[in-house]
Structure formats: structure tokens, C-alpha cells
């Protein structure tokens, strides 16, 4: 679990510009996405949300789990401390 906390702590550093990952498949069913997160040992949405808030990046508004050739990633909508909404992507790898 310590490794997962360490991975989640680096969430802000793992955020990439929105166009950096080309989605092959994005899931809208969080029942299925949750199974993938557990099976693949990915960072959870809760960990992402807590890390964004702790790092002062903002509040997580919406999350979508996607997969590209490079692996799983999250497409995020974040409300910044100034109230602006921004869309970005970040890797979902847990370790």
C-alpha cells in the first residue's frame, strides 16, 4: 500500500497535456472500470482526487478511464483553485 500512496502522491507530476494520449477505448460503465482498476492495480479515482486536492491542483469534477496503446490512463476534468475547468489526461499506472 505504501507504493500506491507514493504513486498517488506524484499525480500532479504525471498530468500530461490533453492531446498526449490517443484514446483507443474509454469506459462509461464504472462497474466495469472498477474491475479493471482492481485487476490491473491502477491508481484509484479516490487516490487521484485526494492527491490533486493535497497538491493544490484543484478539485476533480469528472473522470473517465481510457486505454491506449501505452496502457490505461484517466481523462480528467479539474476545477482549479481559481474556478476554471481544465481537461487533461494522466497515467493510471499504480506502480
Average the pLDDT over each of 5-9, 23-27, 29-33, 56-60 and give the range with the smallest value.
5-9
74-83 pLDDT, tens digit per residue, is: 999 999 999 9
Among positive and negative, which fits the CA dihedral 15, 18, 20, 21?
positive
Query: Domain extents for the chain?
Result: 2-91
Judged against a pLDDT cut of 80, whether residue 34 lies above it is answered with yes
What pLDDT does residue 22 have? 58
- Alpha-carbon distance of 42 to 46, in angstroms, equals 11
Q: What confidence tier does 49 reach under pLDDT thresholds 50, 70, 90? A: very high
**How many other C-beta atoms can be found within 10 angstroms of the C-beta atom of residue 8?**
20
Judged against a pLDDT cut of 60, whether residue 58 lies above it is answered with yes
Residue with the bigger pLDDT between 50 and 5: it is 50
- Alpha-carbon distance of 31 to 67, in angstroms, equals 16
pTM to 2 decimal places: 0.74
Q: What confidence tier does 24 reach under pLDDT thresholds 50, 70, 90? A: low
Amino acid at each position: 500500500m505504501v507504493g500506491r500512496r507514493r504513486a498517488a502522491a506524484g499525480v500532479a507530476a504525471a498530468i500530461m497535456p490533453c492531446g498526449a494520449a490517443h484514446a483507443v477505448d474509454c469506459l462509461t460503465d464504472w462497474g466495469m472500470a472498477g474491475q479493471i482498476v482492481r485487476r490491473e492495480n491502477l491508481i484509484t479515482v479516490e487516490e487521484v482526487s485526494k492527491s490533486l486536492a493535497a497538491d493544490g491542483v484543484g478539485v476533480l469534477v469528472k473522470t473517465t478511464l481510457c486505454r491506449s496503446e501505452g496502457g490505461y490512463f484517466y481523462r480528467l476534468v479539474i476545477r482549479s483553485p481559481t474556478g476554471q475547468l481544465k481537461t487533461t489526461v494522466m497515467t493510471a499506472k499504480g506502480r
